[in-house]
Each structure stands twice: as C-alpha cells, then as structure tokens.
Amino acid sequence: MNLYAEARAGALIVTVDEERLDAAIAIRFKDRMREVTMQPSQRVLLDLSRVGFLDSSGLGAVVAVMKSLSPERSLELVGLTPNVERVFRLTRMDSVFTLHPDVDAALRKGMRHAG
C-alpha cells in the first residue's frame, strides 16, 4: 500500500500511489490512513488522481476513513478519475463528499473559506 502524506497550507494532503483501491487492499488502506492522519490537521485532502479503479470495497474504505475523522475533521476527495467517479455517482456517494478537480483547486477553496 503506497500512500504519502504532506502538510501544505493548513491541510494534510494524502496521495494514494496505487492503480487500484479495491477489495485486495481496502483494509490496508484504512490502516495506513489511520497512521498518516495522526498528524493533526482540520482538512484532509485525499488525492485519488493516480487511482484508475475503485470497487465497492474501496468506496466503503473511503467512507470509513471519513467517519473516523468526523465531525472534527473533514475528508475531501481530489482528482477522481472517470472509473472512480462512476462508482461515487452510481452509489450517489458523491453527494456526501466535497470533490475537487486537483490539489491546487482544493487548497484555493480552503483559502477562500479561511478569508
């Protein structure tokens, strides 16, 4: 499970460096997210732009991470590829996440909220 975290502009940016977020790694993804989000930050931006495939197990894992952070902290999703976006759309789970096209756009949005 390749996952990197970086603090930038008041947000914790977590990049999933995996082609697939599926049943094979869903549990490890949750474990690694628990580790990297020990670093305090109100906003957690999950960059999924390198993930080309997500199944319902992967979706469930992302939801679980969101629930483990709430209500004090937010999990926002960045850079959904078409196959990943499709799963969020079909399950209507796109309605409960804040989505951003890329990290820069996500950070700009944060600045606007702060100002």
Partner 1 sequence: MLADGSQPLRGGAEPSPARPEAKIFHHSFAATPFAVRTALRTALARFLRQLSPDEAGTLELVLAEVLNNIVEHGYSETEHGTITLSLVRDHRGLSCSISDDGVELPPACLARSIDKTQRPEPQALPEGGFGWFLIHDLVEDLGYHRANGRNLLAFRMPVACPPVA
Q: Closest Cα to residue 41, out of 5, 83, 17?
A: 5
CA 41 – CA 100 distance, rounded (Å) = 18
Shortest Cβ distance from residue 90 to partner 1 (Å)? 6
Nearer residue to partner 1 within complex by CB, 95 or 115: 95
Chain contacts with partner 1 (rule: CB under 8 A):
20, 22-24, 53, 55-57, 59-61, 63-64, 66-67, 82-83, 86-87, 90-93, 95-96
The alpha helices in the chain, defined as continuous H runs, are 26-36, 56-69, 82-90, 103-114
Nearer residue to partner 1 within complex by CB, 39 or 68: 68
Shortest Cβ distance from residue 63 to partner 1 (Å)? 5
Q: 91 is written with which tokens?
A: 């399950």
